[in-house]
Amino acid sequence: MRSTWDARSVKRKERREAVLMLLIGAMFAAVGLLLWLAAGRPWIGALGIVFGTMSMFHGVIVLGHFRRRTVRLLYIVMSFMFGSVGALMIAISLAVPGAWGWRGAAFPAIMGAVAVVFFFGGGVLLVIREIKLRKDGR
């Protein structure tokens, strides 16, 4: 049986990880903005900004005291945001293949396609689940 102390330590660990996600997300967004404005790499900068925003979004969800339905809706939004990062990777690979530098555009395009299928598909499944839960009155 878990003691109260164990539950508190788990909560503290969750809060620490959420704060870390906020900090890492802010760093990704800041580096993305720097790449966009200072280094003249708008495509990679936009990708960093979107990824950083999603990381901060997750940190806010974990730190916040939201109702279950609100958390489910926020995770649906976040799933579609991750899918949009994949779509952005594909768009960058097709529109500006040189944006990826010496690595080439093929691998980021494949990774983007996997992200689109996984996260957009997952988002659709989450929406279907949410509709069913609402019909059941939960």
Q: How many CA atoms lie within 13 A of 81 on its CB side?
A: 19
Q: Please state, in angstroms and rounded to a whole number, the distance separating the CA atoms of residues 64 and 90.
A: 33
pLDDT of residue 32: 92
pLDDT of residue 70: 87
Assess whether 58 and 20 both reside in one domain: yes
Burial, 17: exposed, middle or buried (Cβ in 10 Å; 0-12, 13-18, 19+)? middle
Output the CA torsion sign for 40, 43, 44, 45: positive
Assess whether 60 and 70 both reside in one domain: no
Assess whether 74 and 110 both reside in one domain: yes
Assess whether 6 and 47 both reside in one domain: yes
Assess whether 48 and 78 both reside in one domain: no
Q: Please state, in angstroms and rounded to a whole number, the distance separating the CA atoms of residues 103 and 100.
A: 6
Task: Find the domain containing 124 and state its range.
Answer: 66-138
Residue 10 has what DSSP assignment? Answer: H
Q: Please state, in angstroms and rounded to a whole number, the distance separating the CA atoms of residues 41 and 45.
A: 6
pLDDT of residue 92: 87
Assess whether 78 and 129 both reside in one domain: yes
The pTM of the full predicted model, rounded to 2 decimals, is: 0.69
Assess whether 83 and 38 both reside in one domain: no
Burial, 135: exposed, middle or buried (Cβ in 10 Å; 0-12, 13-18, 19+)? exposed
Q: Please state, in angstroms and rounded to a whole number, the distance separating the CA atoms of residues 12 and 6.
A: 10
Assess whether 75 and 133 both reside in one domain: yes
Per-residue pLDDT for the chain (138 aa), expressed as one digit of tens each?
556 668 788 888 888 999 999 999 999 999 999 999 998 888 788 888 988 988 898 888 888 888 888 888 888 988 998 898 899 889 988 888 887 777 788 888 888 899 999 999 999 999 999 999 888 887
Assess whether 47 and 1 both reside in one domain: yes
Domain count, the chain: 2
Assess whether 72 and 113 both reside in one domain: yes
pLDDT of residue 58: 85
